[in-house]
Amino acid sequence: MKIQRRLVLSFAALFAVVGLAALGPVVAGPAAAASLTQVVNFGSNPGGMEMYIYVPNSVSANPAIVVAMHGCGGSGPGFYSGSEFASLADRYGFIVIYPSAEQQAGFGKCFDTWSDSAKRRGGGSDPVSIASMVTYAEQNYHGDANRVYATGSSSGGMMTDEMLALYPDMFAAGAAFMGVPFGCFANAADYPPGTSKCTGGSMTKTAQQWGDLVRQAYPGYSGTRPRIQLWHGTADTLVPYSLLQEDIKQWTNVFGLSQTPTSTDTPVSGWNRSRFANSAGTVEIEAYSIQGAGHSLPSSGMAAYAISFFGLDNTSPPTSGPPTSSPPVSSPPVETGTCQVSDTVSAWDTGLTENIDITNSGTSAINGWSLAFTLPSGQTITSGWNATFSPSSGQVTAKNQSYNAVLAPGASTSIGFQATHTGNAAKPSTFTLNGTACKNA
């Protein structure tokens, strides 16, 4: 039991219990097995976030907890249906929390990793909300406080670094996909692509400077630091690949390790892995460079490597191809039923990012999808995530990745792209999924 963290949160937990006792039951008990369930009134929530939890059919008496966080423009349910963590939970018996970030002015639904309050332990904003979700899961689902893990993609990857820095006594390890070092963003004005110094491609600090940012987040902490796994595509232009090395500099300094890896290998073709172990041989940091990949992680099999790094598969890390896994739904024939699309655009001088949420509003699952739309004149896609986009301009078709091919009725997935423009940053006017026009949300 991590007593230090328990003491920090005890007063918040006491007030939560007293408040619930006065009001009577507000939420039902633990979610039904093998379902994604929203939890309300989970505790202190300064970030105004939503909590979703997935409990598989078989869990241990004290299951591990994985917090899985979406990218900008996404949602908890979207990351549930668009990643492999739920199917891995089915296999290995842990539970998964899927937070949903609230709408941020000018940014879309991104996790706050830039405000002053989000950079201080207990300071407020999203990190406090996520910590409340973990405490709720421990208390109401008998989660193991010694086996809590964080992971996420893009904005969720950034928040993974954030939670490990702010709450090292709460998390045992984390896996950040396409993240940035803790403290990379100076403030809200530094966050948008195109104007950000953090993601502008030239952000560098010394290892000591990066490490000091982590130590200042929780002054005086001298306990065990959570191990971290870092993933980045070498062709990522939205969150530049160079930030992987800055992330390595930060965490090797925090752990007191050399920036020279203790071992390197290629577990899968195109995946270059560097490991940084301490004097006892324990790997504290793993860094994966995915050759030729853009801003589109995690892709098939990568989640399994994260779960293995956490030690939740009860086996040694995979050494050949990654284990195969399927989404936690059946795979019926393709249905060209109804669909709904919601998209948001963040634009700057000559560039933009567009996040697209696709929802299956039909009554049958969709197995394999293609989303067709026409880009406004002057727009050209330079990179994308969670789908393949072709061609880069004009009439574009986005096709599913292997891990988000199946959309159950009511399920959503989030995709997106970065593009250049010549003055017209408008959204596409219509979308067609598998030949059927979608309703614009």
First to last CA, the chain: 46
The structure tokens listed for 310 are 């956490």
366-367 vs 50-55, strand pairing mode = unpaired
Cβ proximity of 110 and 392 under 8 Å? no
Q: How far apart are CA 41 and CA 51, in angstroms?
A: 9
* Long-range contacts, stretch 9-17, CB < 8 angstroms, 24+ apart: 9/131, 9/135, 12/43, 12/44, 12/132, 12/135, 13/43, 13/135, 13/139, 16/43, 16/44
Compute the distance between CA of residue 353 and CA of residue 207 in angstroms, rounded to an integer. Answer: 31
Q: Which two tokens stand for residue 130?
A: 């996520």
Distance from C-alpha of 260 to C-alpha of 183, rounded to nearest angstrom = 23
- 386 Cβ partners below 8 Å, 6+ apart? 82, 296, 401, 404, 413, 414, 415, 416
> Cα–Cα distance between 345 and 373 in angstroms, integer?
15
- Residues 153, 154, 342, 414: which is the catalytic one? 154
Whether 154 is a known active-site residue: answer yes
Q: Residue 37 is encoded by which pair of tokens?
A: 């369930």
Return the DSSP state at 236: -
The pairing of beta strand 271-277 with beta strand 263-268: antiparallel
CA distance 275 to 424: 45
Give the amino acid at 73.
G
382 Cα distance to chain centroid: 22
Tell which residue, 302, 107, 86, 268, has the closest CA to residue 196.
Answer: 107
SS3 348: coil
What is the gyration radius of the CA atoms in the chain, in angstroms?
21
Q: Of 353, 329, 352, which is closest to residue 403 (Cα–Cα)? A: 329
- Looking at residue 408, its amino acid is A
Residue with tokens 């290892």: 207
Residues serving a catalytic function are: 154
